[in-house]
Amino acid sequence: MEDWRRLVDKDLKGKPFSALQSPLEGGLSLQPLYTQQDAAAAPPAPPGVAPYLRGTQALGLTEGGWMVCQEYSEPDVARAAEAIRTDLDRGAWGVWLHLGDPRGIPAPDAAALRRLLAHAPLDTTPVHLEPESDPLASAWHLLDVADQTGVARAALKGSLGVDPLGSLARTGALPGGLDATLAQAAPRVTSLRESAPGLRVLLVSTRAYADAGATSVHELAWAIATGIAYLRGLERAGVSPDVSARSIQFAMSVGGQFFPEIARLRAARLLWSKAVAACGGSPEAQAMVLHARTASTTKTQRDPWVNILRATAESFAAVVGGADSVSTAPFDEPLGTPDASARRLARNTQLILRDESSLNRVADPAGGSYYLEQLTQDLARAAWAELRRIEALGGMEQALTSGDVTRVLTETRAARDKAVRTRKLPIVGVSEFPHLGEAPVQRESRPTATTPAASGPLPLRPVRVAESFEALRDASDRHVTANGARPKAFLASLGTVAEHTTRSTWTANVLAAGGIEPADAHGFADVADAAERFAASGATLAVISGPDALYPEWVPALTAALKAKGARAVAVAGRPGDHEAAFRAAGVDAFLFAGADLFALLSSLHQQLGVA
């Protein structure tokens, strides 16, 4: 290590070693290299042994693999039932039903739920519920359907989805409060533990937090805090923590940070085992049952085909992280109701990972990696600190109703939005490498449900990281509809091709991210030639790009000439440095450079061009 460090210090040429560290959301950072010195003094327990960091099954997923468990939220029961039939016929093992308006399947009674599950035999198909609101009604409806179809309770597998705090976060309402809801659920928890051991009554879903922009640390901590709240509430209702813990299913979103997401799922099992043990639960009760879904917040409406790649990486991370079941969202989900081809691609993503890539052949494939083992411990410690903070506030219900969760999410989104606006957090196909000429992917829009205006910190609002730049593209599309053409920029590239190509390519990429069509021109004889070619282009925005050395000579004169030829705005690519005052005095309106708030600059150019 000492030899390596000397070589690194030499290559850094005076920069601090900390420059090689990569910051992560949640206050963590990645080191440039992990070695045996980073490993724990004692290796973690093997798979199947508490605290289950390496998985809850001794053989991992090698016996058949994880459960391919697709999720459904179609606005029509018949269409959702047909999608379920197709998926089960072609490789899926289980179904996950997101129920209730405004974002789920409208199945308000047992009759509707029975129609929805017409092609999913309850004695052979694990069924998991996640109601948008009223956390108890759907659960009892599923039991009614089982009784009506003659399926014995002992044959049922899945989750009834009773998640009071999840409903509170999503809808802003929990009639009766947490303790009353858990008291109503308690008799079912006790009875079904005996009669239906394969059926978990309660659900801890982090969908609301993940969709609202939570970091990995916060999502993990709030999941464990929710589970603890359920253990305590059920204990007050007369159910032991040992029985309660065996009746809880977890569901978490997996985002785009590949290795941190693997570590987070491993840390989730570790922390839940620790929490259940502290409540008096047995080692068997400490085993977490974990469903993982690909994240919604990372997906885009623009160039949605890239979502296929995002979902593949997220599904891969979920499997390596040891999820018991995985749902891969169709790539077109942000656009509306997914079609059959998108569902097929999503389903086959997991089948390829399992059957062709053989990811299920090794128990805990991440185990033993110095990097992942240390990152797992780092995430666990950070999440445990956040859990203790939530407990000091009075628990997860108090954190939600007091506005603490909303405050944290607001701060997180502000930091993330800044990274998006400056492209430190790039979004392929949207803020980076956009394709202005892409053919739009059309899908049937979901019906818009009318919901009461929020009067407090809840409900939590779902967001996608791409929304800001997508808004610029939407404005550009409206401009096309109204005027027959996109807003256009005359890209005046100075110097030789070798001198201007790198900067001009970067600049064209930035303009396209704002829905502004770049028209590159170069090889100017003089300022007058450049101005004449601008006038002939039909553009009203000009952007000057080239080597810094040419700017003092060209920018003031060219800016004046461009303005004289009708340019509404003139921008310069690159940092102006000491020349900013002179360039602005000459009429330059904006400077485009790496690290700038490009969203704000593009929005300003939209205003000057009359794009709304």
Q: Give the pLDDT confidence of 326-376 residue by residue, as tens digits.
A: 999 999 999 999 999 999 999 999 999 999 999 999 899 999 999 999 999
> Would you say residue 220 has pLDDT above 90?
yes
Q: What is the mean pLDDT of the chain?
A: 95
d(CA 396, CA 568): 53
Reading the block at residue 452, the tokens are 């009461």
Non-local (6+) Cβ contacts of 48 within 8 A are: 55, 56, 57, 58, 59
Reading the block at residue 224, the tokens are 């464990």
Higher pLDDT, 387 or 445: 387
* pLDDT at site 64: 80
pTM of the model as a whole: 0.95
Angle at CA of residue 257, ends 400 and 472, nearest 5°: 80
pLDDT tens, position by position, 269-301: 999 999 999 999 999 999 999 999 999 999 999
3-state SS class at 128: strand
Non-local (6+) Cβ contacts of 468 within 8 A are: 417, 420, 421, 599
What average pLDDT does the segment 50-73 reach? 92
pLDDT tens, position by position, 70-79: 999 999 999 9
CA distances 124 to 88, 127, 198, 360, 519, Å, are: 11, 9, 12, 22, 60
* pLDDT at site 572: 98
Check: CB of residue 133 under 8 Å from CB of residue 171: yes
403-410: list long-range contacts, CB under 8 Å, 24+ apart. 403/456, 403/457, 405/169, 405/209, 405/222, 405/457, 405/460, 406/457, 406/458, 406/460, 407/457, 408/214, 408/218, 409/209, 409/212, 409/213, 409/214, 409/218, 409/460
Give the whole-number percent of the chain exceeding pLDDT 90: 90
> Would you say residue 111 has pLDDT above 70?
yes
Domains in the chain, ordered, with CATH?
A: 62-401 (3.20.20.240), 470-609 (3.40.50.280)
* pLDDT at site 455: 66
Give the whole-number percent of the chain exceeding pLDDT 70: 99
